[in-house]
């Protein structure tokens, strides 16, 4: 009985392996969206989206809430909750200890100087002058969702950032959100 049982088990396993190798399961790839919009309203509580729902236009925030994705009732597990850390955490899905942005500005003990989180003396932005032209996401240690979008499309997608104001501190969230491989930032007054 033992001698016939082992070959039967082996033949059964072999057949299962062959079947598993030849069976083709078709994976349904969902249709990719044509446009992805990320909106972050600094210091706005998530429940305000619903508190003022009746005041929204049909094609505006109502459409975004009904057809889009909204990350609600989240918990901030870091302190301080400042602009740079918040936007970086949202767009990287990581915490300051991992993504590297520890505040809007911080002190570097190696240089003995304090600096802005997007300061970068190695770059010069096109079309700008002054302090605002020496900024990049260089201090960001991980990729953002926008970087991952570019990677997933073999760098065919475009990632464009629009700051809400052209005043220097308002560049910061856009520089971070564009990530390490953003296409361009277009400063505009909204």
| Token pair belonging to 177 | 């959100």
List 4, 25, 58, 83, catalytic entry: 83
- Residue 89 known to be catalytic: no
**CA 190 to CA 188: how far, in whole Å?**
6
| Token pair belonging to 165 | 């104001």
Q: Whose structure tokens read 């600096």?
A: 115
**CA 104 to CA 176: how far, in whole Å?**
11
**CA 14 to CA 130: how far, in whole Å?**
70
Q: Which residues participate in catalysis according to the annotation?
A: 83
């Amino acid at each position: 009985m033992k001698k016939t049982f082992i070959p039967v088990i082996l033949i059964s396993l072999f057949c299962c392996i062959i079947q598993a190798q030849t069976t083709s399961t078709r994976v349904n790839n969902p249709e990719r969206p044509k446009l992805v919009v990320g909106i972050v309203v600094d210091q706005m509580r998530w429940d305000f989206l619903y508190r003022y729902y009746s005041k929204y236009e049909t094609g505006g925030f109502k459409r975004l809430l009904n057809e889009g994705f909204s990350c609600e009732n989240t918990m901030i597990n870091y302190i301080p909750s400042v602009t740079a850390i918040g936007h970086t955490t949202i767009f990287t899905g990581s915490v300051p200890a991992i993504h590297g942005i520890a505040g809007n500005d911080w002190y570097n003990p190696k240089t003995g100087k304090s600096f802005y989180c997007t300061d970068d003396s190695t770059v010069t932005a096109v079309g700008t002058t002054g302090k605002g032209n020496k900024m990049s996401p260089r201090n960001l240690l991980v990729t953002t969702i926008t970087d991952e979008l570019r990677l997933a499309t073999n760098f065919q997608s475009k990632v464009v950032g629009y700051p809400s104001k052209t005043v220097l501190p308002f560049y910061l969230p856009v520089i971070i959100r564009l990530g390490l491989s953003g296409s361009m930032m277009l400063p505009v007054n909204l």
